[in-house]
Structure 1
Amino acid sequence: MASRNHYYLSVADLAHAHGSDPALSWDGAGPADFAAALEEALHSPALFERWRAQQPEPDEVDPALGATDMQAQVHARVVDLHVDVDVLTSLPMSLLRQRLNWLIGAAWQLRDVRPA
């Protein structure tokens, strides 16, 4: 079994954080909505499948990029003037980064990674 990690992220302006593709981008109302959207993107291949369908050769996309973690947990809360996000998952950072970029673009910053 893959090791689980806590990824600690910060989002400076969640209200204006959106991915570049509206079909994949998060369009929620606050930290709880974002946490739910990211958790769903880690639990389910639905977001990956929407992205894959947009590719010129969808059947040639590596299916490993759509890996999921049904045990993933995401918590987000407002702290000072930003949102702290704690992600607990066995997925590698490359896949977490992929889902974050689809949902909120480059509006996030990795603060720390620790084994769970």
Structure 2
Amino acid sequence: MATRYYISLPDGARARGTDPALSFTAQSGPGFAAELQDALRSDALFERWRGKQPEPDEVDRSLAATDPNAVVHGEQDDLHIDLVVTSTIPGTVLKQRLRLLAGSHWELRDVTAA
């Protein structure tokens, strides 16, 4: 069952994780949406992160979950970015990917059934 997540990036310029190799690089609402959508549809971001861990083989494989049908829409209003994610990805995985991409510069505003 798909879930819809409403996410806010209060300042797109600050929405970066602690590791530049894993962070958002986007500059616009649609760009952030595309990068997050890619991070949910494939395990590429997870695998890059896993490879940087001290014991990569001990990383919880449930964090590798993907949803090839995930859809993310992004809109920008000045510095503020709103993202709407529709996906079957578990909330814990979505949050982990957002922490990698945006650090602590994001807010989960609402969650509804899709």
Aligning the two structures, in what range does the TM-score lie when normalised by the shorter sequence? over 0.9
2:16 to 15, 18, 40: 18
Give the TM-score taking structure 1 as reference length: 0.93
2:49 counterpart letter in structure 1 = W
In structure 2, the residue matched to 1:87 is: 85
Match status 1:75 vs 2:73: yes
- Give yes or no for contact 2:4–2:111 (8 Å, CA) kept in 1: yes
Query: 2: CA distance between counterparts of 1:57 and 1:81?
Result: 38
Alignment correspondent of 2:49: 51
Shift of 1:81: 5.0
User: Following superposition, which runs of at least 4 residues in structure 1 exceed 3 angstroms of deviation?
Assistant: none
Give 5+ residue unaligned stretches, structure 2.
none
Q: Number of matched residues?
A: 114
The percent of aligned pairs where both chains have the same amino acid is 52
Using the size of structure 2 for normalisation, the TM-score is 0.95
Which residue is equivalent to 1:96? 94
Matches within 5 A, 1:2-13: 3-13=1-11
Aligned equivalents of 2:21, 2:79: Cα separation in 1: 28
Deviation sequence 1:32-83 (CA, Å, 0-9, x none): 1111100000001000000000111111112111110001000010236521
Contact 1:15 1:30 in 2 (8 A): no
